[in-house]
Every structure is written in structure tokens, then in C-alpha cells.
Structure 1
Amino acid sequence: MKFEKVRWGIIGCGDVTEVKSGPAFQKAEKSELVAVMRRTGELAKDYAERHHVPKWYDDADALINDSEVDAVYIATPPGSHKEYTQKVAAAGKPVYVEKPMARSWEECKEMVAACEKAGVPLYVAYYRRAQPRFLKIKELLDEQRIGDVRFVSSTQYQKARENVQDSQSLPWRVQPQFAGGGLFFDLASHTLDILDYLLGPIKEAKGIASNQAGLYEAEDIVTGTYRFDSGVHGVGKWCFTAFEDVDLNEIVGSKGKITFSTFGDDPVVLTTADGRQEWNFERPQHVQQPLIETMVADLTGNGHCYSTGVSGARTNWVMDEIVNK
């Protein structure tokens, strides 16, 4: 399946598509955003007019079956990812789905199977796999700048956000029927996926998930341990009702360590016996653009995308194992 130019449609043109992703489909070479869909037609029309998109729909099936749409980006909450992926695959079109890939590993497997049966690619929006700061970390590891990797430690905790204080108007991200779980599934998935990219697949995982603050039903604290197929060990701690915000990853090897954040703009730091080196990276204006460019390259026969349904499903499997789904 090769295209001269990829014409995209978006299902669910909400907040994530305003800056992070939507404009990037227009800015990437050999790519064009031609249609958007939202259940509320007026909101879809407003988005289309503001972003200079020629078509808008309030019906997903109409967008999926539009002959001028070559590939579809599913930017809805995870609860509808499987249904829409199956429909897009059945229409014979490539799928790009937001992260986390689905609410569970079981749903991910069905999505992968649907796309394999239809012979269409399935990509997942773990966009850090294509960003320069994480490619630099990959380069340092491949060059064995820290020797043989021994273990990785990830710590993320943050204050309880104001939008979870009212139990009557909770965001979808903490409602398992839409998200698969709480903020662990929404945020930790980024860290676990980039570790999959940097260190290879995780083959064994276990953990404890609890709700301590009682602001919502989903888990608000998770601790996990895992072993990568390479033999590297890992430990992660995530708490979403702590007193401050912390975001820190350390990859420790036999000759040094690499320190970085998942979400911040602080430098990538290499520490060895020779001293300390830092690399600073400017955040892309549209954070998904580097990954979208790799998808377009893949679809036009000019490159390869490293965030697929197979890799995205692995991240869901790890999360399910850690929270004992």
C-alpha cells in the first residue's frame, strides 16, 4: 500500500488535535488533512473553518467511507478506539490511533488482527519515538556510552489536578469505561512505551495499583517492577495525588547513567567517570509532527515508522500486568 500523497481524515477533532497533531498533517510533506469529524456538527465545522480543512462530518462512517480520505487518525478517548479501528480497517485504509492504544491488551489484539486481516498499517500516537531528544537517548545507548544497561528507574508524581476535585464532572481520563483505568493509563503509557523503544520489549511485569485519595474510582497510585527481554530490570512509581510534580527517568549502566524526563523540557544528561554532559532540545511546535512524518514516509515508500499496533499493544500488556487486570 503506497501513496503519492496521503490525504488524512480525523475522527474526534478535540483538544489534542488543535496544536499537538492536527496542523502537522498539513505541514508534513506529501501529507494533507482533508476531512474532520466530531459528533457535534457545529464543532466539527468550526474546527474545519479555523484549520482550513475542506470537509467536515458529524458521522464517523461518512468520513471513513469518503473516497478522498486515504488514511484515518482516530483521536477519540480509548473506549472507542477498537470500534473505529475495525471500521477503518474494513474500509481498507491505514489507521493512526491515539494513545493509549485501547482500554486493554485484549482490545489491542483485536485491533491488530483487524488491520492484519485487511492488510493495512496500524500506527499508534506514541510520538516520543520520533522526537530528537529521545532519538539522542537511543543513540547514546546504541553507542554504549553507559556500557551495559543494568536497570531503569522511573518516577512520576504530581498534585491532584483541579479537574478531578468534583466527582460529578470527572474528565474521561479517570473513568475506566472510557480510558481503561486512571491517569496511569493516560500518562505512564508514554514512559513505558519509550522504554520499550529504548531498551526493547518488557517480557515480565507485576505491580500494585490502589486508590488512596478517593477522588474517583480508578487507581491513583501504581508501583511496578519489570524485566526486559534483554535482561535489564526496571522499576516504576506513579502517584497522582502527591504534594508536588516530579518526572524523572534514570537508565543506569556499567559505565554511567542517562537521566531524562518523559514530559519535561529539561536536558538529557549523561553521567560517566569522565564527567557530565547535557543536551537541550526545543519542543516541536506540533509534538506529533516528527512521528506523522515517519508515517507518511512509510505510506509513500520513503521510510519506516517505529510506533505500530504491535509495539503499542505491548505497552497495554505491560500496564494490564502491573495493575493486575
Structure 2
Amino acid sequence: MMQPIKWGVLGYARIAKNSVIPAIIKSDNSTLYAVATGSDEKQQECRELFQCPNLYSHYDELLEDPEVQAVYVPLPNSLHKEWAIKAMQKGKHVLCEKPMALNASECEEMIRTAEQNGVILMEAFMYRYTDRIKKVKAIVESGEIGEVRYLQSTFRFLLDRPNTIKVRPELGGGSLYDVGSYPVNFVGMIMNQLPESCVTECVKDNGVDVLFSALLKFPNGVIASISSGFNAFNQMNSEIIGTKGRIEVPDTFLGTEGSIRIVTTEGIRQVQTEESDRYTLEVTDFADAVLNNRKPLMGLEETYRNMQVIDLLFKSMKD
């Protein structure tokens, strides 16, 4: 039995506190070893909630600790590249929150650093570990709905937290980077290729998009519609339409139990999906990849392609 991977967390962000740190603690092959945050209050909370044995006031201090094997980066989007690269240069494996970077060029530099230092780098799209997504992929690959012709995917919510990093342009804010990266990834997962063109529309507030929509056209004639936003009521769903039928995917990016609806000429079929502890599954897969020197579920080729698509969307975005 191999020793569990010792994790360090750079920053005590909401997603770290509420989702990933608990996942590290629950995972059989991982242990929470260190957290770095400059806030004394957050250090105290982390100590009380998670009994974290090592708390640092500076990110560099955590990276200098030779016991840290893997680092989780939940920092603002604009800081992903800097701190992921610093961690990898110290020989740490890195699980980096989505989007991996602000653009494909930054992403390419991060991938190159991982290769040069012989470490694993992965983008944290936890939804890919759910039973829901595994079944969607299996249905598409089975040919039940025929050849894919059209996709749509949406993720939006009403953002009511003032001064959040999500609306600060200097930190990589905006709905496309935040919730919009999920539909981009979902479409990329199904299509497995770059679009040849796109058209976009957005509404901006204080320099970031709060409502975004795009149509992507692929070389094989498929069109995909994606949308995201911070300024309207919650919506999260996707649909894949083929030559023989369609798949309706409510709650696309959640780990809740539910059902997928398949409509064909033979009628309507409901496929039940089980609840999935997506963050724990993600952490466990990443740690297992480190322990067994293998690739994790989310490959860097896909991450780089996603960033290329986001570049294309921003280039097309109107002010």
C-alpha cells in the first residue's frame, strides 16, 4: 500500500474550503498536509475545521516545504499561471482550477513547464467524474442518437455577492472564464475538435461579461450554442441532437442524482444517473495518477484546445 499523497493548498478560497479540502480529507489516497493563506482569521478557521497540520502565511513558504507532493491552485484566474509554474518548478504536481489560464499562450507555457519538470498538471473540471457525464458520453458513442448535428450548453446564475473576484477584470473575471468554461468544455468533450468559426454577443458591466452567448461552427458542419451569465436566474442544462434522436441533460455540471432524457423515433427513454462525489473522485484520480505515474482523466491536449476556443470567443467578443 502506497503512502497517501501529501497535498498543499494555495489560498483558502471558497471552493477550497467548501469542496476540495473536504475531498482531500475523504480521499483514501490523499492527505491534507498544508494550506497557505495570509489571513490569520482564515488560518484559525482552517485549523479548527480541518485540523490542518501545517499553515503558512505565504504561498512561497508552502512551495518550499519538501513534504508537499501535490498542490491545488484555487487562486483567481489571473494568478493560475504564475503559481502553477512556481509549484511545478519546485517539483510539485498541480491540480489547477478552471480555466487553466487566461489564454492558450499561458496554458502552453504551463504545459511546457510540467513536461520539463516531470510533473502532472491537470485542469480541475470535477463534473467530468460524474455518473451523469459518463452516461452521456456512452450514449453518444453508442450511436443511439445517430451522428451529432447540433449541441447547446448553458450555465448561468444570479451573482449577488458584491466585490467578488468574479467581476474584477484584472483578476480574470467574467462569466465566460467562470461558468462559461463548463459549456466550452462540454462541447469540446463531445466534438473533440476545434471550431472553424464563431459569432458572439455579450453584455458587459465594469469591464467583464455578465451575459455571454456564442455559436460555434465546426469543420464537419456541426453547430454548437453556448451561453453563460451572472445576471439572471439559475440555468444549467445541455442538449445534444443527432440524426436519430436527442439527449437532454439537466443539471449538466452537478453531481446530483437525476435522469437523462433520450428522445428517438422509438419513443422517450429515461436513463437514471447516480449521485457522484465529483470532487473526491477528482482528487482520488489525480492522486492515483501521481502514485502510479499515469495520465489523469483530464488530459492537457483537451485543456489546451479549450483555451484555444476561449481565445477565439474573446477575439470575437464585442465591447
Structure 2 stretches lacking a partner, 5+ long: none
- Give the structure with the larger strand fraction: 2
1:174-323 aligned at under 5 Å gives the runs 174-179=167-172, 181-211=173-203, 214=205, 216-228=206-218, 232-242=222-232, 244-261=233-250, 262-263=252-253, 265=256, 267-284=259-276, 286-301=277-292, 304-323=295-314
Q: How far off its partner does 1:281 sit?
A: 3.4
Relative to the length of structure 1, the TM-score reads 0.87
TM-align CA RMSD: 2.3
263-272 vs 15-24, greater mean Cα deviation: 263-272
Partner of 2:23: 24
Relative to structure 1, the CA distance from residue 317 to residue 259 in structure 2 (aligned partners, 3 Å threshold; closer, same or farther) is same
Partner of 1:59: 58
Q: Give SS of 1:185's match.
A: coil
Partner of 1:162: 160
Distance in 2, matches of 1:54 and 1:211, equals 45
Q: How far off its partner does 1:209 sit?
A: 3.9
Q: Give SS of 2:19's match.
A: coil
Give the percent of matched residue pairs that are identical in Structure 1 and Structure 2. 26
Structure 1 stretches lacking a partner, 5+ long: 164-168
Relative to structure 1, the CA distance from residue 281 to residue 42 in structure 2 (aligned partners, 3 Å threshold; closer, same or farther) is same
Q: Give SS of 1:20's match.
A: helix
Distance in 1, matches of 2:295 and 2:264, equals 33
1:184-215 deviations in Å (ceiling 9; x for gaps) = 21001012112222331334342324326x4x
Partner of 1:137: 136
Q: Give SS of 1:198's match.
A: helix
Distance in 2, matches of 1:296 and 1:157, equals 31
Distance in 2, matches of 1:48 and 1:311, equals 37
Distance in 1, matches of 2:59 and 2:293, equals 30
223-232 vs 110-119, greater mean Cα deviation: 223-232
Relative to structure 1, the CA distance from residue 43 to residue 114 in structure 2 (aligned partners, 3 Å threshold; closer, same or farther) is same
2:36 touches 2:58 (CA, 8 Å); kept in 1? yes
Distance in 2, matches of 1:147 and 1:170, equals 46
Number of equivalences: 312
Q: How far off its partner does 1:283 sit?
A: 4.2
Q: How far off its partner does 1:272 sit?
A: 1.2
2:155 touches 2:235 (CA, 8 Å); kept in 1? yes
1:221 touches 1:238 (CA, 8 Å); kept in 2? yes
Relative to the length of structure 2, the TM-score reads 0.89
